[in-house]
Structure 1
């Protein structure tokens, strides 16, 4: 039986799945009516970003399962790679 994340990854080939990743940093910032969340994961140097309407529990030190895709932002002529999170759950 396939999980929901497996179905998403199979349907949308640009999506990636990471399981049981340890969060080493979790920052929450106001972004208009939304709250922008930025996660840094152990062993990776790329930020994982998602937005919610409200604050979220602090995930620092937690293990999470993420479904995400690569996103490149151009800021002042410099490209910054981020991972845009589609789905996040605690492991």
Structure 2
């Protein structure tokens, strides 16, 4: 191995291939957990599951999707808009 070879540099940082694989898996796991931290709650405090839909145009199209999914009755938990993409977080009403 030559010093100019990039693999030489990385090999010198990690004592073995197993350590490199372990370090890579640890980084992936940290990234996955970081993504989970900003997600919406899966259930409301009363136990109802939440669902998130995205749409463009108006919130009426998001609400129509929620209405179909919930057979008409749903509760809006949150609405947001980012660069023209609308997001609706909702929970179906208890039957």
Q: Tell me whether the two structures share a fold, i.e. TM-score over 0.5.
A: no
TM-score, with structure 2 as normaliser: 0.29
Q: Higher helix share goes to which structure?
A: 2
**1 or 2 for the larger relative contact order (CA 8 Å, sep ≥6)?**
1
Computing the radius of gyration from Cα coordinates, the structure with the larger value is 2
TM-score, with structure 1 as normaliser: 0.30
